[in-house]
Amino acid sequence: MGITLKSPAEIDAMRVAGRLASEVLDFLTPHVMPGVTTLQIDTLAHDYMVNVQGTTPATLNYSPPGYPPYPASLCTSVNHEVCHGIPAERPLKNGDIVNIDVTVITKDGWHGDNSRMFVVGEGSIAARRLCALTFEAMWKGIVKVKPGARLGDVGHAIQLFAENSGFSVVREFCGHGIGQRFHEEPQVLHYGRPGTLEELVPGMVFTIEPMINAGRRDIREDRKGGHYDGWTIVTKDRSLSAQWEHTVVVTETGYEVLTVSAGSPPAPAFATAGYGTPVAVAA
């Protein structure tokens, strides 16, 4: 199936979905602390989505071809976990880093998808640097979004910034189109060559969600208790990994970030000086 362009009314609906997804992360922020388990975070998120927002957790029982049903309402990827970490009874420790990835489905069927990094307690300088520079890497890609640009421009900007910072970019997972389906075309690579891949046109909606490793880019499935859970991906060298994610729409003049709420981290200074609509500054 090809790329579906969203109408102004559909973009309005996705703007609502994006805000709701971001507000889940706002709600969870004060709960991410030493001693709290990722399963407790999942329970809090599920209750907030279902009972407060009236949304549905998109990940719960999600089962694309080749995967078992995902058993939780969000993903929590801790330290060397790259993505799709399943919430568990493991308490977070001081110094951990954790990515929390939330996707909601609104009552009218639109998806909002975003993730943020959290440093638990006092993180090391290296861990904080990785999280901060991964946030900037995501934004290096976002600011390339405008009509006439190509997806290769987005991926190249992310790769160049990450590798010049001494990090590596995971290549096996990518961003994706999104709408009334969780995953649509196009695939949004976080590496590549400028001037290649699909041309961006107004109405395209997709996620930009780079996974950046402190060590080598190689990954593998995680093995716990002698078996694979079918979802959790880790770095092969057990180096730290970080990820940030926003959903964006291509506008007539640039981009708009849809996953915005009162608690959204402010855009970097370089993102506020260019075209497009920068993410809202936290209240």
DSSP one-letter string for 240-258:
-EEE-BEEEEE-SSSEEE-
The strands making up 219-224's β-sheet, listed across from edge to edge, are 81-83, 227-235, 219-224
Class of domain 8-272: alpha beta
DSSP one-letter string for 207-238:
EE--EEESS-S-EEEEEETTEEEEEEEEETT-
In this model, does residue 279 exceed pLDDT 80?
no
pLDDT in tens, 106-146: 999 999 999 999 999 999 999 999 999 999 999 999 999 99
pLDDT in tens, 166-224: 999 999 999 999 999 999 999 999 999 999 999 999 999 999 999 999 999 999 998 76
Q: How many CB atoms lie within 10 A of CB 223?
A: 11
Percent residues over pLDDT 90 in the chain? 90
In this model, does residue 283 exceed pLDDT 50?
no
What is residue 218's predicted lDDT score, i.e. its pLDDT?
93
Q: List the domain boundaries for the chain.
A: 8-272
Structure tokens given for 126: 């290296």
Confidence of residue 225 (pLDDT cuts 50, 70, 90): low
Structure tokens given for 43: 């329970």
In this model, does residue 281 exceed pLDDT 50?
no
Judging by DSSP bridges, how do beta strands 175-177 and 211-213 pair with one another?
unpaired
In this model, does residue 54 exceed pLDDT 90?
yes
Q: Strand pairing partners for 26?
A: none
Cα–Cα distance, 269 to 166 (Å, whole number): 22
Tell me the average pLDDT of the chain. 94
Q: How far is CA 82 from CA 39, 57, 220, in A?
A: 18, 21, 9
CB contact set of 152 (below 8 Å; sequence gap of 6+):
189, 192, 193, 194, 195, 196, 197
Structure tokens given for 105: 């489905």
> pTM for the complete prediction?
0.94
- Three-state DSSP at 90 gives coil
In this model, does residue 15 exceed pLDDT 50?
yes
What is residue 229's predicted lDDT score, i.e. its pLDDT?
84
Amino acid sitting at position 109: G
Cα–Cα distance, 169 to 192 (Å, whole number): 11
What is residue 222's predicted lDDT score, i.e. its pLDDT?
84
Considering only CA atoms, give the Rg of the chain: 17
